Amino acid sequence: MDSSFSRYQNLAENDRKINNMLANKQAQDFEMSSVSVVPDETYTVAQAVDAFGFGKFQVKLSLFTGLCWMADSMEMTILSILAPTLHYEWQITRYQQALATTVVFLGMMLSSPFWGSFSDKFGRKPALTLCSVLLFYFGILSSMSPNYTWLLILRGLVGFAIGCSPQSVTLYAEFLPCKQRAKCVVLLDCFWTLGACFEVVLALIVMPTLGWKWLLILSTAPLLGFACVCPWLPESARYLVASGQTDKAIDVLKKVAYDNDKPMLLGKLVVDDVVLEEKRGRFSDLLLPQLRLTSILLWFIWLVCAFCYYGIVLMSTELFESGNNNKICLPSMENEIFKTVQTCTAESRYLTTRDYIDLLWTTLAEFPGIFATIFIIDRFGRKITMVVQFLIFAISLSFLFHCAKNRALLTIALFFARGIIAGVFQAVYVYTPEVYPTPLRSIGVGTCSAMARLGAMVTPYIAQVLLKSSIATSMAIYISAALLAAFASLLLPIETKGREMKEHVSKN
């Protein structure tokens, strides 16, 4: 009996062990069905983002960052609408009118290093949150400016806050899979164009009844909206890992996986080896022998892009405004530059409904420009795209010599010019991060952006001041700049189409 009972116990114990093994195996199979395994048992943020793909998380982030980009665009578009009104209401000179535009770009240029350092130290989310609050605050205050001096100060502070807006694109790009990154970054520019169109429509409704001060107030609405959604913005997982906050980075990646209905990766989250092995690039590294020509050419191309793009934006209202005047405005020789200097006998001194409608048409041109760039940039390459678009832009401007007095032809020429220069700007945005290696990519794009601000600071004196005295001279300057930029694009030594992004700085 004892022997039989012992055998029964042994058999029962074996059955229990087998059942436990089967249960453990089922549990493991269940976990494996909801978690992807990385063979090395480690993974980087880049691997995780590529594994999760483009999904619901990126769609929501597109809307959030797009709202910031839209608010930035509206503040820029205000410059072309506000200047003619202030010229007549406050009797400011053309140089003062141009200075009101330049001071915004000056604030942007000076603040770029500050916001870059702030976001690297405290994160993208705190930087964007503070930026939206400051931009909303200074935007409201600028509407209460009692005089021209205060307007300059407050619009300069608006420009300082706007300098952080590119961080929204940085945050967006850091959550994009490699294959979708270029197209998604280009498509994000649709929010910029949408903001510009919305600003023109808002001006059409507000300016004739409430005036420019209410336009400044109502234009801050998207900023208020973005400030409200900032608590839901995710922090960059790349920043969190680089700053040693691995647990928070994993939580963010789990959120991405959940929203995109993808399994979370198993293993340990590590920092990319390249980041650990190589020091962050310095400005002098951009002038290494193998990068010197590329950097110099790109600085010039970015400068011309901003010079021509904002030139078209500003000259559009100037040309439409000139078309309303029955007589030419002549400068008074007896006044100083920063006092009232122009007399005009025209009956219409403000932009009319037709002006705003034509301005809206020229702004809408950016949509086909963006989509055309997306279509051709992967087929013909980045360099050829920039060369051809600069040449077409120059041709479009040449028509302005002959159609400045014909309203329909003027609108068509501005339409093509605005669409083309918007497209070439996006091509440059795609090319620049691709051509620089990872340790130099951030500083490379940053220096190019600074050169763009410099071009934007100069263009008001051509598009708003010189244009009033000589359309031919101002157009010749823009055409010459575009032709030189086309030649510079042709001289770029590297074509990045189909080329993987470099992770190391070549020592050759």
Sorted by sequence, the CB contacts under 8 Å of residue 107 that are 6+ apart come out as 155, 156, 157, 158, 159, 160, 161, 162, 163
The tens place of each residue's pLDDT in the chain, 508 residues long, gives 445 545 545 545 555 555 555 445 444 444 444 444 444 577 777 778 888 888 888 888 888 888 888 887 888 788 778 777 777 778 777 778 778 878 888 888 787 767 766 776 777 888 888 888 888 888 888 888 888 888 888 888 888 888 777 777 777 877 878 777 767 777 777 888 888 888 888 888 888 888 888 888 888 888 888 888 888 888 878 778 777 788 888 888 888 888 888 888 777 777 654 443 445 456 777 787 878 898 899 999 999 998 998 888 888 777 766 555 444 343 333 333 333 334 343 334 566 777 778 778 878 888 888 888 878 877 788 888 899 999 999 988 887 766 666 777 777 888 888 888 888 888 887 788 777 776 666 677 777 877 888 888 888 888 878 887 888 888 899 999 999 999 999 998 888 776 655 545 555 5
Residues 483 and 401 in one domain: yes
Residues 361 and 434 in one domain: yes
Per the domain annotation, does 1 fall within a domain? no
Question: What domain count does the chain have?
Answer: 2
Residues 293 and 438 in one domain: yes
Measured from the Cβ of residue 63, the count of other Cβ atoms closer than 10 Å reads 11
Residues 432 and 443 in one domain: yes
- Any idea what the CATH number is for the domain that residue 219 is in? 1.20.1250.20
Residues 359 and 401 in one domain: yes
Per the domain annotation, does 392 fall within a domain? yes
* Structure confidence at residue 148 (pLDDT): 85
* Structure confidence at residue 453 (pLDDT): 83
Specify whether the CB–CB gap between 122 and 32 falls below 8 A: no
Per the domain annotation, does 443 fall within a domain? yes
Choose one of 277, 293, 322: the last residue of a domain.
277
Instruction: Please report, for residues 90, 147, 149, 345, 470, the alpha-carbon distance to residue 340 in angstroms, rounded to integers and kept in the order given.
Output: 9, 14, 14, 15, 21
Q: Check residue 501 and report its DSSP letter.
A: P
Structural domain boundaries enclosing 420: 280-508
Residues 267 and 287 in one domain: no
Alpha helix positions (H), 381-406: 382-398, 400-403
Residues 42 and 141 in one domain: yes
Per the domain annotation, does 17 fall within a domain? no
* Structure confidence at residue 391 (pLDDT): 93
Rounded to an integer, what distance in angstroms lies between the CA atom of residue 268 and that of residue 104? 46
Residues 354 and 491 in one domain: yes
Go through the chain and tell me how many residues it has. 508
Per the domain annotation, does 22 fall within a domain? no
Residues 246 and 287 in one domain: no
Residues 253 and 363 in one domain: no
Specify whether the CB–CB gap between 159 and 105 falls below 8 A: yes
Residues 310 and 253 in one domain: no
Per the domain annotation, does 292 fall within a domain? yes
Residue 355: name the closest of 207, 194, 478, 221 by CA.
Answer: 207
Choose one of 255, 277, 299: the last residue of a domain.
277
Residues 225 and 305 in one domain: no
Sorted by sequence, the CB contacts under 8 Å of residue 426 that are 6+ apart come out as 186, 189, 369, 370, 373
Choose one of 231, 257, 277: the last residue of a domain.
277
Per the domain annotation, does 158 fall within a domain? yes
* Structure confidence at residue 223 (pLDDT): 80
DSSP secondary structure string, 248-287? Answer: HHHHHHHHHHHHTT-PEEPSEE---HHHHHSPPP-GGGGG
DSSP secondary structure string, 314-358? Answer: HHHHHHHHHHH-SS--EE-TTS-TTS--EE---S--S--HHHHHH
